[in-house]
Each structure stands twice: as structure tokens, then as C-alpha cells.
Chain A
Amino acid sequence: GAVVSQHPSRVICKSGTSVKIECRSLDFQATTMFWYRQFPKQSLMLMATSNEGSKATYEQGVEKDKFLINHASLTLSTLTVTSAHPEDSSFYICSAEGRQISGETQYFGPGTRLLVL
């Protein structure tokens, strides 16, 4: 149990385009989902926290108009990188918390590698 998937696993796009990344909890209902960004050989930086049916809470320094987060259901959250630029190239990872299994443990998706040309 406690499986989180992400799609796509890799994406290459041109500068100026928008990219949507999906995060799904496959076998549990995720009351809260988190989006992280990770640069090579560095730690995970929390970008935002999203609760189902409400607006996401962004961390300081993260542009909410640049990184649009939607958490429309208890099993799906999406991150859209709008007007992507090369500096947005990174590894994006989502995680999910589910009430039924363990409200405190976050289960992570496999990540999405974004390359903006």
C-alpha cells in the first residue's frame, strides 16, 4: 500500500511553454499533498502544500503564479509550471499524506525530471 505515482517521469519542453505534472495516490486518499524541487546532489526544497479542495500554501520565495497547484480530488494533485524557462529545469517530487494509513508519514512519488530548452 501507500503508492504514489507521478506523470510524466521526464519531460523536455521549449522555453515559454507550460508543463503539467500529475501526482496520484493510487491506494489511499491523500488529504494533503506536497510539492518539492530538488537540484542535482542537493536536498529537497518544499515548494507548496496543498489540501484537497482548498488553495495551496506556498513557501516563501515560490511564485504561485509561476507554479500553479491544483488538488481537485483526494487522489490527484497537479503542478503546472507556466512559461517555463531553463532555470526551471529540475527534479520535481510530490508526496502525499493519507489519514487512513498514517497521517504523519509522507509517501513520495518517483519524481519528474523537467528539462527546459
Chain B
Amino acid sequence: DQQVKQNSPSLSVQEGRISILNCDYTNSMFDYFLWYKKYPAEGPTFLISISSIKDKNEDGRFTVFLNKSAKHLSLHIVPSQPGDSAVYFCAAPFGGSNYKLTFGKGTLLTVNP
């Protein structure tokens, strides 16, 4: 049962424009969310996170928005750069205090020059 869902397998945007990556979750007990970026032949790299007590968290060009009532979060990248081309995963800790993560299947972002 996929508790974290990324329904868009891929997204293509032009350099300089905004990239919006979406993620939905089913478990209302989730109280923290993370985004990871993954380049080919590398492991996932932590990008940004958000606690459920917030609805927005910003770090440079990256902003994550959380809509708890809709069980939806999104990652905005502004402006998008070719180096942002990667697979983006959203994830949430589950199962109590052991902090193991459940991941979505990922969205491949391609930023065209």
C-alpha cells in the first residue's frame, strides 16, 4: 500500500521557469515530510523538509508547501536550472520513533536550457 504517492512520473520545464512537483499522502498520522533529489548512479540527497505544524518552508530556490486538509505537499523550484534535472522523491517517517522512511515512486524532472 503506497502511503506516499507521486502521480507524475515525469515533468519537463524550461530553464528559468518554475518547477512544481507534487506529492499526496494517505496517512493522516504523518507529521513530517522530506524531499530528496537523486542523480543517476548516486544515492538520494536530502533537499528540504517540512513539519506538519508549518504550511511552508523555504530554502533558497526551493520551497515546500503543505496542505494538511488535502493531504498534499508540493515542492517549488524557482528559477529552475539545468542542474536541477534529477529524480525527486517525497518521503515521510512512519512507524513510531524509529524514523524509517516511506517514499513515493519519484518524479523525473528535466530542465531544458
A binds B: no
